Structure 1
Amino acid sequence: MYQRDYLVRMIEEMAAILGKAVGLREQSERIDVLHELDELMQKRFRINGGLADRLTADDLQRLFTRNGAIHADELQAFAYLLLERAKLEYESDLRLQSDPSSARPADGVYLHPHPQLAEVEASYIQRLSKALTLLLEAMLQGSDRRLVPAQQRALEALELLKMVRLDDRTLHRLWRWHETDRRYAEAEDALFRWLQSHETQSHGTQDHEAADEMEGREYLPVDGRESADGTYLTLSERIRAAEAFYDRLSAFDDAQLEQGGLPRDELQEGLADVVHFRHTAIRS
């Protein structure tokens, strides 16, 4: 109960600060709100915005892991704060891009250099992707989604990132999240993006372990525990994970599949694509 009360108070503080950002026109006011968010982050999580930018999603997740268990509600609140901070930083940087004189000097030095638009977009994508990865992990770990609008924010972030190639850890979590929430069509889409990302990263080079592993090694189902975040799995392991996904869904009745957006005929088509993918991997 104490932990929940603590999180509720923190979320109330966050909401009060974010409420100040609505309709702001002055750049100095945006910077003030960003400073308040950073102060809240430092007070509640002992980390500031600059450090959050420098650390990877895996590094940040480890900060919320104690005795091998992820504190999902805390991680969710932190990821939500990162998403809101990313939006404010983006708006602030865009304002500087269009009007460099709007930056407020502090002791004769501008708080932010005049950013180039490409850098602004790249920073926003990086922050958004990192926050999304953490938010997905928090929900997969059973966070209380009543505390913050986690699912809504995740879907909004995905819409903003729809033209961006997400990294392995995000795609792996995205696939599992959609499946857990019974959005089977979206899960299938994320799964194939995760499968194909291995080929993209290897630039078409041969997966030398594929044939040996397909023939000889006992397979352990991939559910995110055995494989950590799915980043370092070989192509053969990914294909087996995909086959296990279709095995799980094949056990559902037609009504459940249709409710999840993946009718049985489309399920069979997807499985056939995985089988083709598997045979191609062995031949290559």
Structure 2
Amino acid sequence: MFQRDYFMRMIQQMTEVVGQMMALRQEKKQEEALLAIDELLSRQFRLNGKLLRSLSDEDIIRMMTVRGVVETTNLHAIALLMKEEAQLLEELDETDQSYLVRVKALHLFIRLALLEAEPLLRTPSEEAGELAAKLGEYELPQATKALLLLWHEAEGRYDQAENVLDELLMDGLMAPEQADEFYGRLLLLTDEKLFAGGLPRDEVIEGQRRLVGNAAIKQQTELFRAE
């Protein structure tokens, strides 16, 4: 009962915060809005924006974990506040800081989606999708791409998962064995599920064959260079 009451209070609080941020942005009071976020982080979680920017998403999750259980309500609230902070920084032309905060918020929302956390204002996946779209013009870090791959696969967007996998392979950031495991998992699914995920079985098989062919070419190239 207590947990449900806390969850409902947090929904109300985040609704009010988002409304407050929108009002302050309309009044061109971005600095004031950033201070309001810092005050809420300090009051509610004993954190601040500067500290959050210095922590990894794994660190933040560890801080929000009690007896092995992630406090997803608190984590979701923090992710929402970071999302708002990123938007405010962007409006202040602090593009580098905005990018870093937005990437971290994306990580948190993806992890919440993978944990199947309850939504506050929207589902974690909806929030992650919005942030991923905003970051679409950037070359994302390896860790972000790895999370995107997990998230797309978990949500049944197999075509998008394969796109991220191809990027990781091209950048030399994923071992062919890991990619082969991805295709192996997909081949265990039904034709209907694969088709719904945008990657029919024949394309999965073709992707796996392409992977084997690329590995063979790489091996031959290395042998040639060794001679």
TM-score normalized by structure 2? 0.85
1:127 aligns with 2:101: yes
Task: Specify whether residues 146 and 55 from structure 1 end up closer, same or farther in structure 2 by C-alpha distance, changes over 3 A only.
Answer: closer
Q: C-alpha displacement at 1:281, in angstroms?
A: 5.0
**Matches of 2:34 and 2:60 in 1, distance apart?**
20
What are the superposed Cα offsets for residues 232-271 of structure 1, whole Å, 9 maximum, x if unpaired? xxx5xx3222212211211222221111111122212221
1:245 aligns with 2:213: no
Task: Specify whether residues 148 and 240 from structure 1 end up closer, same or farther in structure 2 by C-alpha distance, changes over 3 A only.
Answer: same
Report which of the two has the higher share of helix.
2
**Matches of 2:17 and 2:74 in 1, distance apart?**
18
Task: Specify whether residues 32 and 260 from structure 1 end up closer, same or farther in structure 2 by C-alpha distance, changes over 3 A only.
Answer: same
1:190 aligns with 2:191: no
Query: What residue in structure 1 maps to residue 225 of structure 2?
Result: none
1:137-152 aligned within 5 A: 137-145=111-119, 148-152=122-126
**Matches of 1:169 and 1:72 in 2, distance apart?**
21
Contact 1:53-1:127 at 8 Å conserved across structures: yes
1:70 aligns with 2:44: no
What are the superposed Cα offsets for residues 168-217 of structure 1, whole Å, 9 maximum, x if unpaired? 22211111111111111111112222333445xxxxxxxxxxxxxxxxxx
Query: What residue in structure 1 maps to residue 59 of structure 2?
Result: 59
Q: 2:202 aligns with which of 265, 276, 282?
A: 265
Contact 2:10-2:73 at 8 Å conserved across structures: no
**5+ long unaligned stretches in structure 2:** 223-227
The amino acid across from 1:272 in the alignment is R
Q: CA RMSD in A?
A: 2.2
1:26 aligns with 2:36: no
TM-score normalized by structure 1? 0.70
Query: What residue in structure 2 maps to residue 229 of structure 1?
Result: none
Number of residue pairs aligned between Structure 1 and Structure 2 = 220
Query: Identity across aligned pairs (percent)?
Result: 32
Query: What residue in structure 2 maps to residue 14 of structure 1?
Result: 14
Query: What residue in structure 1 maps to residue 43 of structure 2?
Result: 43
Give the match's secondary structure for 1:144.
Answer: coil
**Matches of 2:32 and 2:73 in 1, distance apart?**
27
Contact 1:10-1:44 at 8 Å conserved across structures: no
